Chain A
């Protein structure tokens, strides 16, 4: 092999490494971030919520971890859970609007007996603490992805070298 070719290969090595990462990052991220993340969400929320988690490639060596989880009427449950909610009021819709006149729930509330039925026309919800599920999945799994990338790149360079 000529020296010129060696020089060219060395000069292009960084670009080739980046290209290699870009070509494979989606597969590696699927194995190391998406699938474990879906398992976490399925265990902590519901299987339906887990199916809403996906990966999208958004650019060169860039991917987005996307969570799309909406309520039956299109409520952005994903945002509510991820970033939390401020204290807010919840009112019964009323029969005229296609809902019920009273809100109904069971369970403890302000000293009531556990399991007892509760009815109200309006409640003041104290808000939801942000759970940061998707961010947590990323923070927890990203080191694994980086380790995988390093391992794969080393492997790639080993294969790619010309004897």
Chain B
């Protein structure tokens, strides 16, 4: 029951034997049966039990199973019977009877289209916003000359602006940049910032000639556009608040992971790229747990986990 060892303390041994636990034994028994079934299937070339019973051992049946047709009439036979869903290579290719060449989209083209769509969308938003501002200005300025001034702004300024923007959008890449010529064409927000800069210049030019109200409207529009452009520039790729690198610390902390997730990561089923470990990340600021698992580096350490949870069982006093 107990034994005295050198440290002269009460010791109660606890030994776990998988054969002592009926449910575990049942599980292992099932595994053994599955192993036996797999061996039988391999030897006879029959389908696995999970995919239907094997057919009779006749010459016809053997020929069927070794050919394209399986014992159950579906899928390939032979040693590939029943494993069609787990083929290493894809079995469905393009239609070889057609003359049309296989079309593959260029990722660069797709990205280019995406950028252009975003630019167009932003342009529409900007013009819509300015329309709203003009309407507000006309609504709040009903006194002498107000409507006339705003009408003139609408007629000469905004319509001209819209035409200019549409031409700009239809043409090549914008020139210059919101932050100056040095960064021209470097990134999307800089390019769109160039358009915004032109728009602001035109708004200012048109409205300043129409008195104080025009100047006020220009100021409001300028402030809104500046803040919008600034936020976009901040959050754009390469910006100081790059959204691509937004981190959720809660998902990066090891103790907050579920054990199931940990085990999946440990076995390499799930890849997690972590940039939240300053001491371990490399020059690329990331490390792949999948690569670590492949190299045999333990991703999780049970002792460390116990230590983190305050359960460390080191040598006590």
A residues neighboring B (CB under 8 Å): 1-4, 6-7, 10-11, 13-14, 17-18, 21, 23-27, 29-31, 33-35, 51-52, 54-56, 58, 61-68, 76, 78-79, 82-83, 134-135, 137-138, 142, 145-146, 149-150, 153-157, 159-160
Q: Is the CB of A146 within 8 A of B21?
A: yes
Bound form: Cα–Cα A7–B88 in Å: 17
Tell me the chain B residues, 36-51 only, with Cβ under 8 Å from chain A. 38-39, 41-42
Residues of A within 8 A of B16 (CB): 21, 25, 61-62, 145-146, 149
Are B9 and A154 within 8 A (Cβ)?
no
B23-31, B125-133, B203-211, B249-257: which one contacts chain A? Answer: B23-31
Is the C-beta of B279 less than 8 angstroms from some C-beta in chain A? no
Question: Is the Cβ of B302 less than 8 Å from the Cβ of A68?
Answer: no
Inter-chain contact A150/B24, CB cutoff 8 Å? yes
B17 at the A/B interface (Cβ < 8 Å)? yes
B18/A21 in contact, CB under 8 A? yes
Partner of B79, one of A3, A26, A51: A3
Pick the contact of A135: B1, B18, B21 (CB < 8 A).
Answer: B1
Closest CB in chain B relative to A30 CB, distance in Å? 5
Q: Known A58-B13, A78-B10, A146-B21; judge A26-B35 contact (CB<8 A).
A: no
Chain B's interface size range is 35 or more
The smallest C-beta distance from B46 to any residue of chain A, in angstroms, reads 12
Which residue of the partner chain B has the closest CB to A35? B311
Q: Which residue of B7, B34, B79, B313 has the most chain A CB atoms within 10 A of its CB atom? A: B313
Q: Say yes or no: is B247 at the interface (Cβ < 8 Å to chain A).
A: no
Pair A13/B28 contact, Cβ less than 8 Å: yes
Note all chain B residues with C-beta closer than 8 A to A34.
313
What's the nearest-Cβ distance from chain A to residue B41, in Å? 7
Complex Cα gap A31–B310 (Å): 11
A55 to B16, CA, bound (A): 14
User: Nearest-CB distance from A26 to chain B (Å)?
Assistant: 7
> For the complex, is B95 an interface residue (Cβ under 8 Å from A)?
no
Given A7-B35, A58-B13, A157-B27, 15 more pairs with CB closer than 8 A: A1-B88, A10-B31, A10-B34, A27-B305, A56-B313, A61-B16, A63-B15, A68-B316, A76-B8, A78-B10, A134-B10, A135-B2, A145-B14, A145-B16, A146-B21
CB neighbours (8 Å) of A29 from chain B are 14
Q: Is the CB of B10 within 8 A of A82?
A: yes
Give the residues in chain B near A61, CB-CB below 8 Å: 15-17
Partner of A66, one of B9, B15, B42: B9
A-B contact pairs, 11 of them (CB 8 A): A1-B88, A2-B88, A14-B18, A54-B313, A61-B17, A62-B13, A82-B10, A135-B1, A149-B16, A153-B24, A157-B27
Chain B: minimal CB distance from A81 (Å): 9
Contact partners of A4 in chain B: CB under 8 A: 42
Residues B15 and A62 in contact, CB atoms below 8 Å apart = yes
Given contacts A7-B39, A138-B14, A160-B267, contact A30 B9 (CB under 8 A): no
Is B99's CB within 8 Å of the partner chain A? no
Q: Are A67 and B305 in contact (CB under 8 A)?
A: no
**A33 CB contacts on chain B under 8 angstroms:** 14
Residues of A within 8 A of B294 (CB): none
Tell me how far the C-beta of B148 lies from the nearest C-beta in chain A, rounded to whole angstroms.
73
Which B residues from 288 to 317 make CB contacts under 8 A with A? 302, 305-306, 311, 313, 316-317
